[in-house]
């Protein structure tokens, strides 16, 4: 029982690194934006509400830089921690090679999810106020240059979040409790960190899909691939007019096809055998549960 408690504390410790770095970068950037634009805004005799609103607009234009810096800071901090411990971030997060079959299934799942998960947000009768909160959150991710979005949203953030949630949190908690429980917990935390009911629910489902591959392969590589493909799709559709002329019929067809691809890839993955690494991790979980 003591070892179980220790694993939970370790998971919380690694999450604290992620949470602190994210907020630290935001605070520093907020201070810098205030120093740069504060005097200029005050000269317009703006009210406090107007002052804060204008600062937020300026800060939004630096969100891309914040995401890039925070992702690098989190990964660098983990790298240093593991160096001090005389181990490696790759080993501690199960960043291991996986078979071509699992990579293929991951890509199929990601392509299916691109259409199914994203278009379902439009099809489902979600209240306008909840969708408004999601739209406002998404708009903040497109308030900066596209090159920053591709570097941050499509590469660095997916890698960093998979290292945190399906890497450190998953690997630690799986030594203290059944993997299905770990999948639910880490996906719930992942969803909450995205904020907003709709976005949180979407991110929770997103996380659960990745956890299927995490459980079967024992590696975070499929999750990184899935995450990069999904975020790249969202970035491209946000910054370009790729689907602006799409008819409702085409959207429904793509949603159905996407759902079939996603369900099929998950069914094949779940029905398959666990890899040697996943089996080894499962044995560790069982052994920990007996203590």
Read off the tokens for 107.
């890509």
Pairwise CA distance, residues 246 & 252, whole Å: 10
Sign of CA dihedral 129, 157, 185, 104: positive
Report the distance separating Cα 68 and Cα 38, nearest Å. Answer: 24
- C-alpha angle 149/153/158, rounded to 5°? 160
Structure tokens at 170: 């998953």
Neighbouring CB atoms inside 10 A of 175's CB total 22
This prediction has a pTM of 0.90
What is the average per-residue pLDDT within 79-99? 94
Please identify which residue in the block is written with the tokens 């992702």. Answer: 71
What span, in angstroms and rounded, lies between the C-alpha atoms of 27 and 32?
9
Dist. CA 221–CA 214, nearest whole Å: 8
Of 143 and 119, the one with more pLDDT: 119
pLDDT of res. 74: 96
In tens, the pLDDT along 187-233 reads 999 999 987 788 899 999 999 999 999 999 999 999 999 999 999 99
E strand segments, the chain: none
pLDDT digits (tens, 9 = 90+) for 250-259: 999 999 999 9
Between the alpha carbon of residue 178 and those of residues 181, 184, 235, the distances in Å are: 5, 10, 35
In the chain, the N- to C-terminal Cα span, in Å, equals 5
In terms of pLDDT, which residue wins out, 211 or 274?
211
Q: pLDDT digits over 26-59, tens only?
A: 999 989 988 888 888 877 877 878 888 888 888 8
């Amino acid at each position: 029982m003591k070892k179980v408690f220790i694993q939970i504390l370790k998971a919380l410790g690694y999450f604290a690194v992620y949470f602190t770095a994210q907020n630290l970068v935001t605070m520093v950037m907020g201070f810098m934006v205030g120093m740069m634009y504060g005097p200029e805004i005050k000269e317009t005799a703006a009210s406090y509400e107007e002052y804060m609103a204008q600062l937020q607009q300026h800060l939004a234009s630096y969100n891309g830089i914040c995401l890039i810096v925070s992702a690098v800071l989190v990964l660098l901090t983990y790298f240093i921690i593991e160096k001090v411990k005389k181990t490696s971030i790759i080993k501690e997060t199960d960043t291991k090679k996986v078979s071509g079959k699992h990579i293929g299934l991951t890509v199929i799942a990601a392509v299916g999810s691109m259409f199914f998960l994203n278009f379902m947000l439009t099809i489902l009768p979600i209240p306008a106020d909840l969708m408004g909160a999601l739209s406002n959150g998404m708009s903040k991710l497109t308030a900066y240059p596209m090159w920053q979005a591709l570097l941050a949203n499509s590469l660095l953030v997916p890698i960093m979040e998979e290292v945190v949630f399906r890497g450190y949190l998953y690997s630690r908690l799986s030594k203290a409790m059944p993997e299905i429980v770990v999948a639910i917990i880490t996906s719930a935390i992942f969803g909450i960190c995205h904020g907003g009911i709709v976005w949180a629910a979407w991110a929770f489902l997103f996380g659960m899909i990745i956890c299927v591959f995490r459980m079967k392969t024992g590696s975070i590589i499929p999750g990184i691939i899935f995450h990069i493909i999904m975020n790249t799709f969202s970035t491209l559709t946000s910054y370009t007019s790729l689907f602006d002329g799409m008819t409702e019929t085409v959207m429904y067809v793509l949603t159905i096809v996407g759902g079939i691809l996603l369900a099929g890839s998950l069914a094949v993955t779940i029905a398959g055998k666990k890899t040697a690494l996943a089996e080894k991790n499962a044995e560790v979980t069982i052994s920990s549960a007996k203590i």
